[in-house]
Amino acid sequence: MQTRELKRLLDVLKDTDVSEMTLETGEYKLTVKRGSVATVAHVPAVQYAVPAAAAPAATEAAAPQQAPQAATPAARERLVDVVAPIVGTFYAAPSPDAPPFVRVGERVKPGTVLCIIEAMKLMNEIEAETAGVIKEVLVDNGQPVEYGQVLFRIEPD
Amino acid sequence: MFRKILIANRGEIALRVVRAARELGVQSVVVYSQADENSLPVLLADEAVCIGPPPAANSYLNVRNILAAALVTGAEAIHPGYGFLAENAEFAAKCEEHNLVFIGPRPDNIARIGDKSSARALAQEAGVPVTPGSSALKSLDEAKAFAERIGFPLILKASAGGGGRGMRVVQSHADLERQFFNAQEEARAAFGNPELYVEKYIEEPKHIEVQVFGDGKGEVVQLFERDCSIQRRYQKLLEEGPSLLEDDLRTRIAEAAVKLAKHISYRGAGTCEFLVDKDGNFYFSEMNTRIQVEHPVTEMITGTDLVQEQIKVAAGEPLSWRQEDLVVSGHAIEVRINAEDPEHDFRPTAGTITDVHWPGGPGVRVDSHVYAGYRIPPNYDSLLAKIIAWAPTREEAIRRMERSLRETVIEGVKTTIPFHLRVLDNAFFRRGQVYTNFIARRMSS
């Protein structure tokens, strides 16, 4: 699913009183819960706009924040946060045309590359330190990230 | 003018720059460590970017993250405040490499005048008096030969030094022999470099500093002097301006500062520090290539905004004032309110500020990042606020400052307010008999 399709879906849902829906296709299963999604652990004090030009054309971009496979707060406690170790620009894929390094639901192990953070024209690969399953991707492709910002949540094995 | 600037600092000076930028219609991005997430500059800036964990080495000194934050937010310039990276020529050069304007002097200005021995050489080239001193000493005999020429008292200093370490005042040849090797060892232990030099020791000097401003193209104006003689272990606690020196001497010191700044085609705000002895001799000691903590004293007596001027000059605008536009009006005093316990050797007192009330009324200014509920992080300096009182005369400014400090309420931590009230009440201070040994000599109870 493309980011813009997802966004359209969420926009449509906004105008309804649907509080939960599940969509299942051959490729993925998406659950959306509205209204009481727990806030992320670390929200940047000011969310700055994504500089559109800087983003390599979002391929199968990371799911935006509103659409996690909404973990319940209890389930979330078990999740391991992957945070940005440096300030820079988040890239979900190695190049504009390539598929993302990881998608929600994928299994990772220590050393699996999760994303790239570009800082000062240097591409820094961010690797998983935990074996488990990606439960949430919290950042959009091309978005600036700050130190300590949560990028992914992994359900450890 | 810039559309957006990044502020690479914290605390009251970060807030000061946010305010200056906002009045100029410039957006501000504040970078912060995790310890400062709830600080006032972070809350009041247009944008904020976390750049690291609490230790300054990993956040406020993390050049890569600061530059990345500037680039991802689209900031065009970086204001370094004071401390941290403000006088780091390498950082200033890195900014330029990434097409970011460093709001301060050019990197070569910082490198040449920031280094103590090169600054002395530049001052001498410009015809500005420096304390008679030796070059690096190779042996005790060289130190003795220097003492024969200049006479005692002398002060031994570490070439790599700072902060008073490796320094020894010597009164006689016997003293010199004894102290030379001690100072060498202290320098080796503190800086990994035992090299010493020796200077004439100025007894009971006044610390007088001249605010200068250059456009980087050879034009330099001076915004008069501040007297910062009230210091504790080289840390200033109370500053005032103008000084009580005679007008002729004030003019000569100011002219010397302008000569030095012009000599290096200085850009931006800077301060030339001088020691002035009882006979009216003055000696250049160092130049600070940044905005200073005590800049509001100058702003209050000249009606200028030095931080806005820094931003304007960095954006390529000409200086706002010609020398003849600048005049001193009245007298201003600034006190530094630190979270320190003056009853216990100024021990830092960390904690949470449970309640704050600032003074008000005519002629009073408060620069502070503190609010009720603010937790003082243990990682940085203890400055909580600067209170500045302006009045037409020094006597009135002193009374206004006393009144302001008595109005001030800071609950939850000990502060330097009781100490400042004692200084303001001191008869020597009131008469202006203030030298750099004031606290040791007049305030030890």
CATH number of the domain within which A85 lies: 2.40.50.100
Pairing of strands B409-411, B364-368: unpaired
Confirm whether B403 is a catalytic residue.
no
- Neighbouring C-beta atoms of residue B433, cutoff 10 Å: 15
Q: For the domain B4-103, what is the CATH code? A: 3.40.50.20
Give the C-alpha separation, B224 to B273, whole Å.
Answer: 12
Position A1 scores a pLDDT of 61
Q: Which residues of B204-239 are buried (b: 16+ CB within 10 A; e: fewer)?
A: ebbbbbbbbbbbbeebbbbbbbbbbbbbbeeebbbb
Domain ranges in chain B? Answer: 4-103, 140-200, 206-442
Q: Is the CB of residue A99 less than 8 Å away from at least one CB of chain B?
A: no
Strand pairing class (B4-7; B27-33): parallel
As a residue count, chain B comes to 445
Q: How far apart are CA B242 and CA B333, in angstroms?
A: 9
> Is the CB of residue A50 less than 8 Å away from at least one CB of chain B?
no
Residue of B nearest to A48 (CA): B47
Question: Strand A29-33 and strand A80-83: pairing?
Answer: unpaired
Domain of A68 in residue numbering reads as: 3-156
Strands B77-79 and B101-102: parallel
Same fold, B4-103 and B206-442: no
pLDDT tier, A60 (very low <50, low <70, confident <90, very high otherwise): very low
Each residue of B309-360: pLDDT tens digit? 999 999 999 999 999 999 999 999 999 999 999 999 899 888 999 999 999 9
Instruction: Kindly determine whether residue B51 and residue A147, on different chains, have CB atoms separated by under 8 Å.
Output: yes
C-alpha to C-alpha distances, B70 to B49, B65, B102, nearest whole angstrom: 9, 9, 11
Q: Give the type of residue at A67.
A: A
Range B206-442 classified under CATH 1.20.120.330: no
Q: Which amino acid is at B233?
A: R
Task: Specify the pLDDT at position B170.
Answer: 93
- Which residues lie closer than 8 Å to B178 by C-beta, 6 or more apart? none
> What residues of A are in contact with residue B53 (Cβ under 8 Å)?
147-148
Query: Tens of pLDDT along B263-312?
Result: 999 999 999 999 999 999 999 999 999 999 999 999 999 999 999 999 99
CB of A96 within 8 Å of a chain B CB? The answer is no
Write out the E strands in B277-353: 282-288, 331-338, 340-341, 347-348, 351-352
**Per-residue model confidence (pLDDT) at position B164:** 64
- The 3-state secondary structure of B399-430 reads HHHHHHHHHCEEECCCCCHHHHHHHHHCHHHH
Q: Is the pLDDT of residue A76 over 70?
A: no
Residue of A nearest to B29 (CA): A46
pLDDT in tens, A96-155: 899 999 999 999 999 999 999 999 888 999 999 999 999 999 999 999 999 999 999 999
A45 touches chain B (CB under 8 A): yes
The CATH number for B140-200, chosen from 3.40.50.2300, 3.30.1490.20, 3.30.1490.100, 3.40.190.10, is 3.30.1490.20
pTM over 0.90: no
Q: Is A147's CB within 8 Å of B34's CB?
A: yes
Distance spanning both ends of chain A, measured CA to CA? 27
Type of residue numbered A16: T
- Helix B107-114 × helix B116-125 angle, to 10°: 90
The answer, yes or no, to whether residue B249 has pLDDT greater than 70, is yes
Residue A86 contacts B, CB cutoff 8 Å: yes
Q: Which residue of A has its CA nearest to B74?
A: A51
Q: What is the ipTM for the molecules in this complex?
A: 0.77
Report the C-alpha gap between B178 and B171 in whole angstroms.
Answer: 11
Q: Do A48 and B98 touch (CB under 8 A)?
A: no
Q: pLDDT averaged over chain B? A: 94
| Chain B positions in Cβ-Cβ contact with residue A120 (cut-off 8 Å) | 64, 67-68, 71, 98
- Contact state of A148 with B50 under an 8 Å Cβ cutoff: yes
Higher pLDDT, B402 or B132: B402
How far is A68 from chain B, CA to nearest CA, in Å?
A: 24
Q: For residue A121, what pLDDT is reported?
A: 82
Q: What is the pLDDT of residue B192?
A: 83
Catalytic residue among B267, B290, B336, B394: B290
Q: Which two tokens stand for residue B345?
A: 């050797």
CB B9 within 8 A of CB B79: yes
Residue with tokens 């299942």: A24
Residue in A closest to B43 by C-alpha: A45
Phi then psi for residue B56, to 5 deg, are -60, -35
Measured distance CA(B254)–CA(B272) in Å, rounded: 9
CA distance B424 to B442: 12
**Closest C-alpha to B66, from B26, B3, B8:** B8
Which residues of A fall within a CB distance of 8 Å from B52?
Answer: 147
Q: From chain A, pick out residues whose CB is under 8 angstroms from the CB of B64.
A: 86-87, 119-120
Taking contacts as CB-CB distances below 8 angstroms, the residues of chain A near B45 are 46
Using alpha carbons, select from B370, B428, B427, B422 the residue that is nearest to residue B401.
B422
**Alpha-carbon distance A143 to nearest alpha carbon in chain B (angstroms):** 9
Give B168's strand partners. Answer: B156
B227 DSSP 8-state letter = E
Give the C-alpha separation, B12 to B215, whole Å: 26
Half-sphere exposure of B333 (CA within 13 A, CB side): 30
A148 inside 8 A of chain B by CB = yes
Q: How far is A26 from chain B (nearest CA, A)?
A: 38
CB within 8 Å: B48 and A89: no
Average pLDDT, chain A: 75
**In the numeric block, which tokens belong to residue B350?**
């960390």
The minimum CA-CA distance between B267 and chain A, rounded to whole Å, is 27
Tell me if B113 sits within 8 A of B214, measured CB to CB. Answer: no
Three-state DSSP state, B296: helix
- Domain count along chain A: 1
B49 to chain A, minimum CA–CA distance in Å? 6
Q: Which residue has the higher pLDDT, A136 or A12?
A: A136
Helices (H), B38-139: 40-44, 63-73, 89-97, 107-114, 116-125
Query: Which amino acid would we find at residue A66?
Result: Q
Contact list, A87 vs chain B (CB under 8 Å)? 49-51, 64-66, 68-69, 72
CA atoms within 13 A on the CB side of B118: 9
Q: Is A79 left (phi over 0), alpha (psi -120 to 50) or beta?
A: beta
* Distance separating alpha carbons of residues B153 and B173, to the nearest angstrom: 10
B52 contacts A147? CB cut-off 8 A: yes
pLDDT, position A3: 63
Out of A132-146, B111-125, B372-386, least confident range? B111-125
